[in-house]
Amino acid sequence: MMNNAEKPQLTIPRVRRSICIPYFDYKIDRNKQAKQLTLFDLPPMGIGFSHVVNSIDKTQFTVNFDVFENINKYDFALISLVSYYDYFNLYSMLINFDVRTNIIIGGPAVLNIYPFIDKIYAACFGRCDTQINDILNGIPCENVYSAEFGINRYKIGQATCRIGDYREHENAVGCRKKCFFCEYGFKYEYVDFAGQYGEYANNETFFKDIDFINHGHNTAGLDGLTEKERYVVNKPLSNDAIIEKLNTHTKRDNFRLKLFAVTAFPFTDNYYYDELIETVSKAKTKPITIMLGLSHFCPMPLTPMEEEKVLIVDLKRLAPIKVNNIKMMTYLQSTSYKKAVLNSLFNRMRIDDIDTLKQIFTLNIDKFIPKIMDKMPHIVQGGYIPIDYIERPFKIDGLKKLYERRKSEYCA
């Protein structure tokens, strides 16, 4: 007969809690009114979200992919929000959904928790490089809202490591430039992993760093159709600098240059192409095709322009033209004043707007936007600091004064 010391010791397995990564048919996306499920019916995952999911302790949790309607079968649901499109889509799913699981949201778009305050368990602000297991286990984090502890003051999580792999990875986090309209430059401290700024998703670079020699195409930011506009929003790019850079294209027979251009700024009454056309006409260059991607200005939190209004004006494409050796065409960067209002809704919504939003919400964007403008006019007009529970990574009082001074000069 074996004594207790001789008996084999049985390991009782720990019951692992379950996590759902949900997917669903999106109501809108950047290009269409409807988007189908991705290949193999898995949700699209950027490198940041993939990094977070891969960091989950699999001895404590199981990770499952399932349709959104099944999230209540799991202990947690992790949802990444990349843009206001995702806010809109998720809100449309949750507004009449009886949530009985712990929803955790995160991603580049997450700052305003009020649209989901009665539906979510936690929200991560900024980076979440190494915190996911703490969040799942209910451990307080300085950049994480938890329904258990209520609304406090939160920091923006900053980069602690470079994420990605040999196929796709970060070149930099944040931006050392401080364009007054751009949240990205005021949200993250700048970290350069590659030795030269580059945005991994579309290989965007600064205008002065456009490489006409080693590449057949480049993407850069113009961000203002006139030199004076760019000056006001702290985009130090003169017309002479544009001409000088274009003149360096002397090798290839053709080159494709995509330029992002924010326009319809609140200190203007419209937007104009004349100055840009005149500028590129002065360049002596080999053939270039310029694709101008227009974006309607939208006030972003944390920036010197966060309190500005949304200009209600429709952007119109410039008919394709040829100026000397430069072909120039425009396309709308999936934006309009309606999308800018929608973006502002999820950036600026206050806690006392929760009931109003529930009453006026509809999936029909053309009907929804006028209701926002009528019932929630402050969303369009601004004049206040949104999301006041976030600690700013950068002090901007001086930059706000500088912006106001330059705006006055522009309007004089």
Give the contacts of 227 (CB within 8 A, at least 6 positions apart). Answer: 237, 238, 239, 275
Just give the CATH number of 17-146. 3.40.50
Residue 4 clears pLDDT 60, i.e. is over it: no
Residue-wise pLDDT tens digits, 355-381: 999 999 998 989 999 999 999 999 999
> Looking only at Cα atoms, what is the longest distance across the chain?
100
The ranges of the chain annotated as CATH 3.40.50 are 17-146
Q: In the prediction, which pLDDT does 211 show?
A: 80
Confidence check: pLDDT of 29 > 70: no
Least trusted range by pLDDT, from 5-9, 134-138, 342-346, 374-378? 5-9
Residue 218: what pLDDT? 83
Residues 174/208, Cβ–Cβ less than 8 Å: no
pLDDT digits (tens, 9 = 90+) for 264-288: 999 987 778 899 999 999 988 888 8
Does residue 197 contact residue 190 with C-beta atoms inside 8 Å? no
Average per-residue pLDDT for the chain: 85
